[in-house]
Amino acid sequence: MEKQNRDFKGITENELKGYRDSYAENALSRAMTNALSKTEITDAAFCSKGRPPFVFSVEIPTMGVTNQEKSGRCWIFSALNVLREQAAKKCGLEEFELSQNYVAFWDKFEKVNYFLESMLALADRPLTDRLVTYLLDGGVEDGGQWDMLVGVAEKYGVVPKSAMEETFQSSNTSKMNALLNTKLRQYACALRQAAADGKDTVSLKNEMLAETYRFLCMCFGEPPRTFDFEYSDKDKKYHSDSGLTPLEFYRKYIGLNLKEDYISIINSPTEDKPFYQTYTVDYLGNVAEADPVHYLNLPMEEMEALIIRQLKDGELVWFGSDVGPMGERNLGLWSGECFDFNGTFGIDFSMPKKDRLDFRDSAMNHAMVITGVNLDDEGRPTRWKIENSWSDEHGKKGYYMMSASWFDAFVYQAVINKKYLSDAQKEALGKEYIHLDPWDPMGTLA
């Protein structure tokens, strides 16, 4: 077989000598070689002068932070942290949590059905097809998107944490996910074979879902169909609401119309995604009959203006970002001003936001809640207050801060009440969705 790399150019000995000489002649490189032999890179590059004060001109009081433990359920935790504030206000609660485990159970179960339906839809494609291999590689993950949370809540409702507590597996999902995805690939093999042989795939899929339900119940516990909501308010007065279904609780104590009143906006300044256009991602979802994942793409200055309007109105903002770069976890800080990687190495690591997206250097990987912002005299944001779900051991009891420049560079998504949109933005919502490939950066899961 002819070699595919026949035209590749190798590194010559003369070129290698030049690289060695360049390193030997660079005093910074030699000094940093010694320093980094016993120092974490982020510690070596940290600049204390880049740490702003933890105060904000617009700030919404919220309850204590939650802890997603060793799971990728940040999108669930952050969304329920927004929703719990509604129930707490109605009931006069000082501390309250909704069951993240309940939502995670139904998300997993619906994702399995979505995966099996996808395998049936693609059963006539070869296993080497890019879409088939992408879906098989990914399987079912912990992560999700805002519209996937809405799909679960609208179908199954939500419950207080007391109605379905965490289990070890819900808080430590790695091994469970590995077993589940092995099973899904086994299912995919059987479904493809049944489809090829003209056999009954409907009954076969139902058997698979029954087995999945049993597996998830063993890992998460079985979700309640009814429960009693008992609580004492801030005045120590006892209340009890008996025999509630999860949907009844959702409608009575949350009372938000997430499906109709809220829209997920993104900032993707890439040439393939014009602003003021709506987008959806193919083969991305959980509840098959729910509205598809969809977004409105806006310039960052408009996204920030909408977020600020919502915060000023006392309403929290769910958002997604790439928390990998420029972060100091112990301080609870994301800020490019706090790290000088260019100076540490004498190498320029900067890339425009559009290039980081196009060349796969960055994508949304974590969802949190914006609870405040500091504005300068001209009303421009200088830093943002963030409610995280990584326990209260870091930052300010689990609350973090993002600098304005970091926010612009690494925030990709936010959920906004449609009432804050301008007429032009509302008009853009009516446009037909442009379909994105499942592997598009805007299709990544928080």
CB 414 within 8 A of CB 262: no
Residue 160 has which token pair?
Answer: 């207080």
Among candidate residues 96, 98, 56, the one with its CA nearest the CA of residue 79? 98
155: phi > 0 → left, psi -120 to 50 → alpha, else beta; which? alpha
CB 156 within 8 A of CB 247: yes
Strand blocks (E) in 23-152: 58-59
Contact criterion met (CB below 8 Å) for 333 and 51: yes
Q: Which of 365, 146, 154 is nearest to 264 (CA)?
A: 146
How would you classify residue 332: left for phi > 0, otherwise alpha for psi between -120 and 50, otherwise beta? Answer: left
Biggest alpha carbon distance in the chain?
Answer: 82
Burial label for 269, CB within 10 Å (0-12, 13-18, 19+), is middle
* Separation of alpha carbons 174 and 69, rounded Å: 11
- Residues annotated as catalytic are 74, 366, 388
Tell me the Ramachandran region of residue 372: left when phi exceeds 0, alpha when psi lies from -120 to 50, beta otherwise.
beta
* Nearest-5° Cα angle at 45, 40 to 50: 130
Give the C-alpha separation, 9 to 11, whole Å: 7
* End-to-end Cα, the chain, rounded Å: 43
Alpha-carbon distances of 252 from 76, 90, 188, 224, rounded to whole Å: 20, 9, 40, 17
